[in-house]
Amino acid sequence: MIFVILIGAVAAVLANMNIAVFNDGLRPIVGEHIEGRLKRRELGLTAFAMSFGLVIGFGIPFTVTASIILIHSILLGTDIIGLTTPKNRWGTPLAAAIGGVYGWGLMVGLEGFVKLFEHLPVNFLDPMGEVGTPVVVTFMAFPALAVAMQFTIKKGIVTFAVAAIVRQLAVFVNEGGFLSIGGNAITLNQEGMALIAGMIFLFGFAMREKQEEGSSVDLASIFSEKVKSIKKNVVFFMIIGALIAGATNLLLMAGDPISLSLLAEGKQADAGIAAAARAIGFIPLVASTAIATGVYSPVGFTLIFVVGLFVPNVWIAVIVGAIVIFLEVTLLSVIARFLDKYPGVRNSGENIRSAMTKLLEVALLIGGANAANMIAPGFGFFFIAGFYLLNEIAGRPIVRMAVGPVGAIAVGIIANILVLMGIMTIPQ
């Protein structure tokens, strides 16, 4: 509870002081405010418009389905809290207080939800675990999709085929027991191996795109003042990095839906591998927006989640988390020069994000449909299909990624109402 309250308070302060925001799309807008081209009120309204729907439609449903806090639930909320409160002597402490209460509310609300489900005629908490099942398997395809988006469909197909072959080879090795240490068989994670193969291809293609002679632009020099302003606040980042790494080690929170789904299944090592792949893929995006705007992310390159999942002790995770985010900030200028030298890697950041989003949209829709059908056989598939299509026609008031989880929760609520009315029997 203390970890989550402190994360909420510190993240709200970072947003309030224009030091760091979680929403990637908000960073350039906060930069506009810092430059004096956007008023505080307009900034707050923009933050609310960009993040509120994601908190309600994306962060909270995942948090409820797995009983683990998805980091989006708390940090998108603290973005809103920090940017809507005034940046002055009383506004910053107020942001800290509201952020802490918000974190406390998430924890209490989550425990309350779990207890509430136990008293429902149709306890749909267990079926909701199906929402994340397809995510784990389909995640390994995102490097191939990113390659296809950036470097042609042919290269994407080659990457996909190699990843698929590597996965099946891992299955073959596991079944044959060919790897062992001291007589103990080693089991390879097939999805993890496929993911690593895909990432090698992605960055191999990206690094072949070098800057043309004489056209180099030194990002670190152009935005040197902005990089300095981030480095000046490194202590703040170390504090929140330490807190998030510790909370992740306690399995209180996860940094993305994939690792959250794996944690819900008790697969901590696999969750760590997924978190590492995501972090590597997101470095270009986070670094580019930070260098250009002078506004960092409270989770940095998300490597602190990897620390939390792999380090064996919570207090060691706290220390290592602080060190990792310190190194990230210290090396920003070096990363800027690297991205300048390899524009293909820099451009891959947005493609990686788009590829992950597209895959998650499909996987979560399938998972949501399966969960809904377990809650109410037949009706579940009908509801999710209709819900998805009506949402599309309405102009997507609910982001595609959230349609599956939100739809499954809606089916659970409807099923309970129908059982209480005597119209439906409790599914066995």
Query: At residue 178, does pLDDT exceed 80?
Result: no
User: Which residue, chain included where needed, has tokens 């350039």?
Assistant: 28
The confidence band for 213, taking pLDDT boundaries of 50, 70 and 90, is very low
Closest to 296 in 3D by CA, of 99, 71, 50, 79: 79
What span, in angstroms and rounded, lies between the C-alpha atoms of 386 and 209?
Answer: 44
| pLDDT reported for residue 258 | 78
Per-residue pLDDT of 364-387, as tens digits, reads 788 889 888 888 888 889 999 999
Q: Does pLDDT of 337 surpass 50?
A: yes
Residue 267 CA neighbour count, 13 Å, CB half: 17
Spatial contact of 81 and 100, defined as CB atoms under 8 Å apart: no
Q: Which helix (H) or strand (E) holds 69?
A: strand 69-70
Q: Which of 181-195, 303-317, 345-359 comes out lowest in average pLDDT?
A: 181-195
Please say whether the beta carbons of 52 and 80 come within 8 A.
yes
- 8 A C-beta contact, residue 22 and residue 58: no
Strand, helix or coil for residue 231? helix
Q: Which of the 8 DSSP states describes residue 210?
A: P
CA dist 339 and 292 (Å) reads 12
CA dihedral of 45, 48, 50, 56, whole degrees rounded to 10:
-160
Q: Which of 19, 2, 1 is nearest to 297 (CA)?
A: 19
What is the Cα–Cα distance from 267 to 49, expressed in whole angstroms?
A: 35
Outline where DSSP puts E strands in 237-364: 253-254
Radius of gyration of the chain (CA): 22
Under DSSP, the state recorded for 272 is H
- The CA-atom distances, in angstroms, between 59 and each of 7, 120, 256, 421 are 16, 23, 10, 31
The β-bridge partners of 180 are 185
Q: Cα(370)–Cα(137) distance, rounded to whole angstroms?
A: 15
pLDDT score at 220: 52
Residue 31 has pLDDT above 70, yes or no: yes
Q: What is the mean pLDDT of the chain?
A: 81
Phi, psi of 289 (to 5 degrees): -70, -35
For the segment 235-259, what is each residue's pLDDT rounded down to a tens digit? Answer: 999 999 999 999 999 988 888 887 8
- CB atoms inside a 10 Å sphere around CB 213: 6
Provide the token pair at 75: 């940090």
pTM recorded for the entire structure: 0.69
